[in-house]
Amino acid sequence: MSTENNKIMVIGGGIAGLTAAWELSRLGASVELVEKTCFLGGHAIGFCCKATDECVQCGACSVEDMLKKVVGEPGITVHLATEVDKIGKNGIFSVKLKKSSPTVNMPVDGVIKGYSKNNDPLYVVVDKDKAAQIPEGAVDLSELGTTGELEVDAVILASGFQPFNAEIKKTYGYNQFKNVITGMDLERIKRQYGDVIRPSDKKQPETIAFILCVGSRDERLGNLWCSQVCCPYALRMANDIKFKNEEADISVFYMDIQNFGKNFPDFYEKCQSSMNFIRTIPVDIFPVEDDKLKMRYFNEEDGQSVENVFDLVVLAVGITPDPDNKNLAKLLEIGLNVDGFLGGIDPLNRTRTANEGVFIAGTVEGPKSIAGSMAQAGQAAAEVMKYLEVNK
C-alpha cells in the first residue's frame, strides 16, 4: 500500500489536520494543507503545560511536536490564510482556493507568531500602525493566502471546533468582570506567564472556583453532549495550581466528573482530598471589593443558598460545533449531525462521510481530546490509503 504520486488536500491545520498531513506525507503522498488563519496548530497550539513534578499527559506538547514535523516535511505544502472556495468531483476533486479574511486575536503590539517552513518563526503583522516593533522578516497579513486551482485525489476535513462562547451564560459575567475567565483564557495565561495569575492585578489567586460543563450538557441551550475535555483540563490545571501553591483553596462545581488518563482513579482521589467538590450548577456571580467575585449556589446537602467569594473564577467551556460547519457540509456534500458536528455515516468508523473520497477527523466530527484527534487523523489517513487503492 502506498499513496505515492497521489495528492491529498487537508482542510484545517489544527492537531487533527497536522497529524493527517504528516501521516499521508510519510506514505509518500503530496499534501496540500489549507489553513484559514495565518498560523498552524489550531486551538491547542496556545495551550500550556500542566505538569507538576510529573507530566499529567495533557497532550499540549504533542501539538508542538507535530507542528515541528509538518513544517519540516517537504511533501507538505502549507497554504496559510486560505480557504476552499469551490470543489467539484469527477473521479478526482477540482478545488478552487481563495484568500481568507482571518480574524485574529491580535495581541497589543499587533504582531503574531505563525510558522513557516523549517519551523522558523513567522511573524505576521496584523496592523502596521499598531505594531510597536516589526520583527525582521515579518509578513504583512494581506500578503498571505493562496488563490488558484488544484486537483486532488482525496480530501480530509479537519476544520475543528469553536470553544463555547461564555458570554451566552449571562449570569456568570464573562467579559464583564475581569477575573471571570474561561479555560481558553487560563491556558493562554499560563502559557504566557508560566503561572496562573488574576487578570486584574497579575497576582496569584488564593481562592479559585472552577465551574464545569459551561455550555455542555445543557438542555436549555440544546447542547446535549459532554465535551469530554473540560473535566480533564480543569482538574489538571487545578492540580497544578495546588502543587505550586499548597495554600490555594480550590472549589470545583460539577455535575459528574469524567475520566481521563490511565491513572484516573488515583488522580481523582488526590484531587478530592485537596479540593472542594460541590455538585451543583452555580446560579450567578457578582463583583465585590478588590475585583473578587461573589458566587451564589444551592448546596445539595441542605438545599440552602450559599454565597462564596473567590479571587478567580474559571468557566470550563467546552467544545461546540463551528458555525461554519453548515457551509462546509454543503461545500463538501457531507452530512451535518443533530448536534451540528459533521456526521460520519458509519457509527463504527466515524471518519467516513456520505461523499466518497472525503474523510473527516478531529473535533469537526465531535468533541475529543488532542490524543483522540490525533488517533482519528491516523484513521482518516489509513482510510484515504484504502480509498486510493480501490480507486486507482
Partner 1 sequence: MSEMILSDMEEIKINTDVLVVGGGYTGLKAAKGISDSGYSVVLIESDTIIGGEKNPLSFIGIDVTAQDELKRLVDDVAADDAVNVLMNTRLVSAAGVPGDFTIRLATSDGDLEKKIGAIVVATNFSNKPLSGAYGLSLSDSVLTLSQLEYLLSGSDRDRLSNKTIAFMVGFAQEGDALVMERILSNVLAVESIGGCTTYVFAGNLKVASDGLERAYLESRDKGATYFKLKTMPTISPDGESISFIDPVLRKKMELSPDVIVIEEEILADEMNPLLAAILRIDVGPGGFLQTDNIHRFPVQSNREGIFVIGGTRDVQNIPTALMDVENAVLEINHLLKDGKIVVPKNKAVLDIGKCTFCITCYRLCPHGAIYWDNTNKPVISPVACQGCGICASDCPMDAIQIGNYSDAEIMDKIKSNGSAAPDDLRIVAFCCQNSAYEAGLMADAFQMETPANLQVIKVPCAGKVDLDYIMKAFVEGADGVLVMACHPGNCKSEKGNTYAEWRVVDAHRMLEETGLEKERLGFVTLASNMGIGFSSAVVDLENRLKALGTSPFNK
Ligand X SMILES: Cc1cc2nc3c(=O)[nH]c(=O)nc-3n(C[C@H](O)[C@H](O)[C@H](O)COP(=O)(O)OP(=O)(O)OC[C@H]3O[C@@H](n4cnc5c(N)ncnc54)[C@H](O)[C@@H]3O)c2cc1C
- Which of ligand X, ligand SF4, partner 1, none does 212 bind, CB closer than 5 to 8 A by kind? ligand SF4
Q: How many CB atoms lie within 10 A of CB 270?
A: 15
Phi/psi of residue 192, nearest 5 degrees: -75, -45
Phi/psi of residue 116, nearest 5 degrees: -110, -175
- Which of partner 1, ligand X, ligand SF4, none does 160 bind, CB closer than 5 to 8 A by kind? ligand X
Cα–Cα distance for residue pair 179/6, rounded to 1 Å: 51
Smallest gap from residue 334 Cβ to ligand X (A): 13
Residue from 256, 284, 290, 389 binding ligand SF4 (CB under 6 A): 256
Please say which residue, 56 or 166, places its beta carbon nearer to partner 1.
56
Give the per-residue contact string, 345-384, with ligand SF4 (x = CB under 6 A; - = no).
----------------------------------------
Phi/psi of residue 302, nearest 5 degrees: -120, 5
- Which of partner 1, ligand SF4, ligand X, none does 213 bind, CB closer than 5 to 8 A by kind? ligand SF4
Per the listing, cell 519540516 goes with 72
Cα–Cα distance for residue pair 392/390, rounded to 1 Å: 6
57 near ligand SF4 (CB under 6 A): yes
Smallest gap from residue 94 Cβ to ligand SF4 (A): 40
- Which of ligand SF4, ligand X, partner 1, none does 187 bind, CB closer than 5 to 8 A by kind? ligand X
Question: What is the helix, strand, coil percentage profile of the chain, to 5?
Answer: 30, 30, 45
Please say which residue, 210 or 387, places its beta carbon nearer to ligand X.
210
Alpha-helical (H) ranges within 92-138 are none
- Which of ligand SF4, ligand X, partner 1, none does 302 bind, CB closer than 5 to 8 A by kind? partner 1
- Which of ligand X, ligand SF4, partner 1, none does 183 bind, CB closer than 5 to 8 A by kind? ligand X
In this structure, are residues 1 and 390 in contact, taking their beta carbons and an 8 Å threshold? no
CA distances to 16, 30, 181, 314, 362 from 379, rounded to whole Å, are 11, 18, 35, 34, 10
- In 128-154, which positions are buried (b, 16+ CB within 10 angstroms) versus exposed (e)? eeebeeeeeebbebeebbbeeebebbb
Q: Which residue ranges make up the site for ligand X (CB under 6 A)?
A: 11-17, 34-37, 42-44, 47, 58-60, 83, 158-161, 163, 183-184, 187, 229, 233, 317, 319, 324, 328, 362-363, 368-371, 373
Smallest gap from residue 39 Cβ to ligand SF4 (A): 19
- Which of ligand X, ligand SF4, partner 1, none does 220 bind, CB closer than 5 to 8 A by kind? none
Please say which residue, 253 or 310, places its beta carbon nearer to partner 1.
253
- Cell of residue 256, nine digits: 459528574
Start-to-end Cα distance in the chain: 11
The footprint of ligand SF4 (CB under 6 A) covers 49-51, 55-61, 212-213, 216-217, 226-228, 230-231, 255-256, 258, 316, 318
